[in-house]
Amino acid sequence: MAPLRGRKKRRVENQDEDNKSLASSGSSSREGFGEWWDILCKKIAGNPSTSRALDPFKLSFAMSRKTFNYICSLVKEHMMSKTHFTFSNGKPMSLDDQVALALTRLGSGNSLISIGDSFGAHHSTVSQATWRFVEAIEDKGIHHLRWPSTEEELSKIKCKFEKIRGLPNCCGAIDTTHITMLLTSSDPEADCWLDCRGKHSMILQAVVDPDLKFLNINAGWPGKMNDSSVLQSSSLFRQCQRGEMLNGPKMLVSDKMELREYIIGDTGYPLLPWLLTPYQGSRLHETKLDFNERLLATHVVAHKALARLKEVWKMIKGDLWRPDKHRLPRLILVCCILHNIIIDMEKDEDLMELPSDLVHDAGYATEICEAVDKTGSVVRDKLCKYFCGR
> Does 110 fall in a domain?
yes
Q: Which amino acid is at 56?
A: P
Residue that terminates a domain, selected from 140, 173, 198: 140
Segment 237-270, tens digit of pLDDT = 999 999 999 999 999 987 778 999 999 999 999 9
Question: Do 133 and 210 belong together in one domain?
Answer: no
**Does residue 4 form part of some domain?**
no
Domain identity same for 97 and 215: no
Shared domain for 261 and 368, answered yes or no, is yes
Higher pLDDT, residue 224 or 3: 224
**pLDDT higher for 6 or 183?**
183
Assess whether 315 and 340 both reside in one domain.
Answer: yes
Domain residue limits at 124: 9-140
Amino acid at 18: D
Shared-domain flag, residues 216 and 152: yes
Return mean pLDDT, the chain.
Answer: 85
The number of folded domains in the chain is: 2
In tens, the pLDDT along 96-143 reads 999 999 999 999 988 899 999 988 999 999 999 999 999 999 999 999
Asked which of 119, 140, 161 is the last residue of a domain, the reply is 140
Q: What percent of the chain has pLDDT over 70?
A: 83
Confidence band, pLDDT 50/70/90 cuts, at residue 44: very low
- Residue 274 pLDDT > 90: yes
Note the pLDDT of residue 137: 98
pTM of the model as a whole: 0.87
Question: Is residue 8's pLDDT more than 50?
Answer: no
Question: What string of DSSP letters covers 311-380?
Answer: HHSGGGTS-EES--TTTHHHHHHHHHHHHHHHHHHTTTSPPPP--TT--SSTTPPPP----B-HHHHHHH
- pLDDT tens readout for residues 311-364: 999 999 978 888 888 899 999 999 999 999 999 999 766 554 566 667 788 888
Residue type, 316: I
Residue 27 has a pLDDT of 43
Phi (first) and psi of residue 172, to 5 degrees: 175, 165
